[in-house]
Structure 1
Amino acid sequence: MNGENADQGEIGKFDRDASAWWDPEGPFAPLHAITPLRLDHIESRIGSLAGLSVVDVGCGGGLLSEPMAARGARVTGIDLAPETLETARLHAHGTGLSIDYREIAAEALAAEAAGRFDVVTCMELLEHVPDPAAVVEACSTLVRPGGAVFFSTINRNARAWLLAVVGAERVLRLLPAGTHDARAFIRPAELARWARRSGLEMNNLTGLHYNPLTRHYFLTDDTRVNYLAHCTRTNP
């Protein structure tokens, strides 16, 4: 396992709640709520996942890996949190889905599986690693030329700090306090620069928002807080 580009405190934070990953009312409830949106967004951009080879970078407990597999994709899920991965394996076994879960860093997998995947997903990971640009580069290496890479992260500005940290963690208690460090949030221009440097072309940015009155998440053109980026590998 190559864990150089990893924060052990972040890994421990998610492993502490490993048994609760699949509790829709637990600490990962927001991820349960947004997974259908993320999944439909991916297929709206590239078409059906059926038959495609996908690697889910920073897969956590498998909340996105499983529904992608259920839609016919051949899914590899990677993460550096061992307890979380065990939860993912057990849940997939219980649902009868075949997913290859591995405890390996994106950079290490890229060294052994360059260009092997049609689609790479990297959701809510970049803001939790010391060197997000290195993860972007690894994701580009993993995808085949012409393949798609999807990132989901949080913009860095006062509004994002107010809504994603103060609002989501301290007021609404949607997430455990301390889930995010606003200093690690990533502006779209930064992500676009890392993508270009790694041979990726950014095709689309889509915002993801939460309405506290209706308690629903929705996609929007407003990328000032949470956003998803769809990129394509352009270089051979």
Structure 2
Amino acid sequence: MNPILNADPAELAKFSELAHRWWDMDSEFRPLHQINPLRLGWIQSMCVLQGLQTLDIGCGGGILADSMARQGAEVLGVDLSSKALKVAQLHALEAQTPRVTYREVSAEALAQERPASFDVVTCMEMLEHVPDPASVVQACATLVKPGGWVFFSTLNRNGSAFLQAILGAEYLLNLLPRGTHEYAKMIRPSELAAYCRRAGLELHATQGLGYNPLTRRYALSTNTQVNYLFATQKPLDFQ
């Protein structure tokens, strides 16, 4: 596989069909809007975004990119869904979001073009949708400056994750469209940690993210059985 084409056409088509609903708080993207303050706060607990060159890989309609720009970061959001990017650009214009731009380019292609260019790289809810997640992790490591931070979030692969993220969220609670996730593409924390080590990233913190169906609220937790986040850093002496 050509690493610069590390994308699943079916996945791109799936999200492109929903692109116009990215900023509808009651749409299929409602969970992303609900968890965004949590993941943004967690990122800011590791590094203050004000003034930092920040890259959001797999930005979709720009939910995280927009919020990071509003915290003072200089943000570039990249994705391979042209429809989602158009929605992100339109929202930035309508909301007058400062310091955010968007571009249709893969992580791997951008890594060849702009190595060691960003203080912070985020890749949220994206790794479980590409054929080769390790290639994306390597691209993130290439794109971040020595001493910079790379944040990931994805889904674990185990029985609990299948029951909650697929059966529960997609079929019983209808929180997500059916077919949003494929069990085989989910990534165990040990696997993601191995990808990070091979890419030269040091794992500093792991955080779980859970959903309470009774309160209909998401919260950060120590339980990484389903959704989890990684905070990694590129060593200052990286060669």
Gaps of 5+ in 1: none
Given that 1:207 and 1:220 are in contact with CA atoms closer than 8 Å, whether structure 2 keeps it comes out as: yes
Q: Which ranges in structure 2 are unaligned for 5 or more consecutive residues? A: none
Cα deviation for residue 72 of structure 1 reads 0.4
Q: Is the 8 A contact 2:4 2:108 kept in 1?
A: no
Q: After alignment, is 163-172 or 98-107 more displaced? A: 98-107
What is the aligned partner in structure 2 of residue 144 from structure 1?
Answer: 145
* 2:115 alignment partner, SS class: coil
* TM-score normalised to structure 2 length: 0.97
Question: Aligned partners of 2:158, 2:206: CA distance in 1, in Å?
Answer: 17
Instruction: Tell me the residue number matched to 2:81.
Output: 81
| Superposed counterparts of 1:61-210, under 5 Å | 61-97=61-97, 98-210=99-211
List structure 1 runs of 4+ shifted beyond 4 angstroms.
Answer: none
Q: Deviations over 1:193-221 (max 9, x none)?
A: 11010010011110000000000000001
* 1:3 to partner: Cα distance: 5.3
Letter of the aligned partner of 1:157 in structure 2?
Answer: N
Give how far 1:45 is off: 1.4
Report if aligned partners of 1:205, 1:228 keep a CA contact under 8 Å in 2.
Answer: yes
How far does residue 120 in structure 1 lie from its aligned partner after superposition? Answer: 0.2
Structure 1: which amino acid aligns with 2:222? D
Equivalent-residue separation in structure 1 for 2:19 and 2:59 (angstroms): 12
Q: Which residue of structure 2 lines up, in the alignment, with residue 223 of structure 1?
A: 224
Aligned partners of 1:18, 1:184: CA distance in 2, in Å? 22
Q: What is the distance in 2 between the residues matched to 1:24 and 1:100?
A: 22
Aligned residue for 2:59, secondary structure, equals coil
Aligned residue-pair number:
234
Amino acid at match of 2:226: V
One-letter code aligned to 1:53: Q
Residues 3 and 80 in structure 1, CA contact (< 8 A), matched pair in contact too:
no
